[in-house]
A and B are shown apart, each in its own frame.
Chain A
C-alpha cells in the first residue's frame, strides 16, 4: 500500500503504512521510527509509532508538511539498505494466581480448563509488541491464544497493583504502574517495567517480543527485592 499522510493539527503528521494488526506494516513503522530517532532532522521533534501508523511531531518554523512528506518518502526508499537493531525477546517473570492473580480461576473456568493449563498456554508463546503507549511502558501485544480470551470485569477495580498481568477480550498485557483497571488479573511480575530514573526506563521497544515465565512466590519476592531498592 502507498503511504498515506494526514495532518493531525498544525504540528503533527500521521503517516499510515497499512491497516489492521499487520506485522509487516508494523515492521515498517518500527524501522521508520528507528531511522528517524537515529539521526537528527531539522524540525522533527519526536516520532511515535503504533500498529500501522507513525506520528511525527514537527516545528512548522523549520519544516513544512510537503517537505516532511517528501523526506519520509525518501527515507522509506532506504529502508531496505538500513540495518535496524534486531528485535529481542524480553522475559518477564510472573507469579500466577493467588493474591497476585485473583481472576486466574475465573479465566480457567471461562476457558473450561484448569488453572495450570491457563498458565501453560499464557506462558507458551512470545507476544509481539505492536506499540507502547496509553500509559508509561504499557505494551500493546499480539498473539494471545483464542482459548484464553475472557471478558473485561463488569466493574473495574479502583486500584490494580503495578506489575499486574491481565487479559481483556483478545488482549493480554501488564500494568506498568498502579492504576484503575478492568482486566482479568491472572498474575503479577516483580519487575519494575517503567523506572524513569534508569538509563533505559523501559526494557523493550516496539518490534521486540515479550515472553512470560512462571515463577513461584519465593522467586517473585527475591526478584522484587532486587528490582525495587
Chain B
C-alpha cells in the first residue's frame, strides 16, 4: 500500500468504484460499481491493472488532487479537460506522475462520467468482495461516501510502465443515445403502448443519479386492466420502470428489489451508455429479441477482450 493521492477539490460526485459486488444481492446489497464499466476497464488496462482494480468515478465535474507517489495514471470516459501542473494532458492514454504534481479536472464537455485509474488500483478495504462505493448503503469505497477535500487515498502495488499506453481510438458520447432493449419482464401490462415506447424519443431529465435516470417524454400508460404497481420483485440493471405518471426510469446498479412494472430492459452491453447520459440528452430505445441480445453480448465481450490484449501488448 502506497499513499498516492490527496483530494484538493472533490468535484460533484467522486467515488471509488470497481466492477461491482455480485455476491450479496440476497442480503439486499446491490452490485454498485462503475456506471460506464467500459471506460473504467480501459482506464485500468492503460496503466497495466486488471479490469477489476478500483478507479475513481467522477460525475459532471471532476476532482483536483495532489500526487503523493510516483505512478502511472489514465483518465477515460467523459472529456473533462485534465491538466497536469497547469498543462493540458490527454485522456485515453497513460501518463507518469510524481510526488508534488497537481492534477486538475474540469467540467465534462462530452459525456457525464470520467474514470481515473492508477498503478495498482485505488486501495480501499474490500467489503463483501468489492471496493465499490454503495452510497445508499453507506458501504464500500472510501468510508462509504463521496470523496471530500483533504481525503488521502492509497494505491496498491504495481510496476511502473516504461512507456505510455494509448488506445488508438476513443468513444465520443453522442447527445442522442440509442439503447438496445428487450421487452419485459412486464411488457404484458403495456400491450397498447409497447410499439410507442420503442418509437418515441425521451429526454434525460435532471433527476439522474447512480440509482437511475429519469426520462421525460410522452407518458407511457399501462393497459386499462393492468395494476399500477406490483408486489416487490427482484430487479436487474437496465430495467426500465414505468411509475405512475408514465415517465420511464432506467435503473442502474444500486437496487436489488423494486415494486414498479418494467416495460423493457436495456441489454447489458449498452447500459454503460446510460452512465454517460446527461440532462438534456435524447434517448431512443431499439427493440431486439433475446437471441440477438445474446449475440451482441458475445460480440461485446470479444471486443473488450481485444482491447485488453491490444493494451497488454504495447
Q: Which residues of A contact B (CB under 8 A)?
A: 6-12, 14, 19-21, 33, 37, 45-55, 57, 60-61, 64-65, 131-138, 140, 177-179, 194, 196-197, 201-202, 205-206
Contacts and interface: CB of A to CB of B under 8 A. Distances in A.
Contacts of B127: 196-197
Interface residues of B, number: 44
A47 B27 CA distance: 11
3 cross-chain pairs, A with B, having the tightest CB-CB distances, nearest first: A133-B257, A55-B234, A9-B265
Given A6-B185, A9-B239, A131 B232 contact: yes
B231 A37 contact: no
A37 B26 contact: yes
Given A8-B185, A9-B237, A9-B265, A136 B231 contact: no
A135 B238 contact: no
A123 B190 CA distance: 42
Contacts of B297: 10-11, 60-61
B170 interface: no
A64 B291 CA distance: 9
B233 A10 contact: no
Contacts of A61: 297-298, 301
Contact of A10 (B22, B29, B134, B293): B293
Interface of B: 22-29, 127-128, 134, 136-139, 182, 184-185, 231-239, 255-258, 262, 265-269, 290, 293-294, 296-298, 301
Nearest to A135: B28
A49 B301 contact: no
A57 B267 CA distance: 13
Query: Taking each of A9, A136, A202, which has the highest tally of chain B beta carbons within 10 Å of its own beta carbon?
Result: A9
Given A53-B233, A131-B257, A133-B232, A8 B265 contact: yes
Given A7-B184, A9-B266, A196-B128, A132 B26 contact: yes
A3 to B, nearest CB: 14
Contact of B136 (A51, A135, A196): A135
B257 A134 contact: yes
Contacts, number: 141
Nearest to A132: B28
Contacts of B301: 61
Given A53-B234, A55-B236, A61-B301, A134 B138 contact: no
A134 B290 contact: no
A179 B138 CA distance: 10
A65 B290 contact: yes
B298 A60 contact: yes
Given A9-B267, A21-B231, A46 B25 contact: yes
Nearest to B186: A6
B234 A10 contact: no
Contacts of A19: 231
A12 B27 contact: no
Contacts of A133: 25, 28, 232, 234, 256-257
B268 A50 contact: no
Contact of B27 (A6, A52, A137, A177): A137
A162 to B, nearest CB: 10
Query: Taking each of B24, B127, B258, B298, which has the highest tally of chain A beta carbons within 10 Å of its own beta carbon?
Result: B24
Contacts of B235: 8, 55
Contacts of A7: 182, 184-185, 265, 290
A33 B256 CA distance: 15
Nearest to A133: B257
B298 to A, nearest CB: 7
Nearest to A52: B231
B149 to A, nearest CB: 23
